Amino acid sequence: VFSKLIRNSSSHAIAWLEEFLINFENTVIVVSHDRYFLNKVCTHTADIDYGKIQLYAGNYDFWYESSQLLVKQMKEANKKKEEKIKELQEFISRFSANASKSKQATSRKKALEKIELDTIKPSSRKYPYVDFRPEREIGNEVLTVENISKTIDGEKVLDRISFILGREDKVAFVGGNEFAKTVLFKILMGEMEPDEGSYKWGVTTSQAYFPKDSTKEFDNDLTITDWLTGYSPVKDVTYVRGFLGRMLFPGEDGVKKVRILSGGEKVRCLLSKMMICAPNVLILDEPTNHLDMESITALNNGLIKFPGVILFASHDHQFVETTANRIMEIMPGGTLIDKITTYDEYLESDEMARKRFVYTANKEDDEN
The DSSP letter of residue 316 is: -
Report the pLDDT value the prediction gives residue 310, as an integer from 0 to 100: 98
Q: Is residue 18 part of a domain?
A: no
Task: Look at residue 101 in the predicted model and tell me its pLDDT.
Answer: 82
How many structural domains are present in the chain?
Answer: 3
Q: Which pLDDT score is estimated for 94?
A: 86
Q: Are residues 106 and 150 in the same domain?
A: no
CB neighbourhood size of 291 (10 A):
23
Residues 247 and 182 in one domain: no
Residues 130 and 300 sit within 8 Å (Cβ to Cβ): no
Residue type, 74: M
Radius of gyration of the chain (CA): 26
Residue 151 belongs to what domain range? 125-206+279-368
| Domain-located, residue 45 | no
Per-residue model confidence (pLDDT) at position 98: 79
User: Does residue 83 lie within any of the structural domains?
Assistant: yes
Q: How far apart (Å, rounded) are the C-alpha atoms in residues 280 and 306?
A: 9
Q: What is the pLDDT of residue 235?
A: 93
pLDDT for position 237: 93
pLDDT at site 12: 67
Q: Which of 221, 222, 275, 269 is nearest to 248 (CA)?
A: 269
Residues 6+ apart with CB under 8 A from 7: 32, 33, 289
pLDDT, mean of each 10-residue run, the chain (368 residues): 58 78 88 85 87 86 84 90 92 82 86 88 84 96 98 96 97 92 98 97 98 95 96 94 94 92 95 97 95 93 97 93 96 94 87 53 46
pLDDT for 204: 97
Quick one: 93 and 170 in the same domain? no
283 shares a domain with 272: no
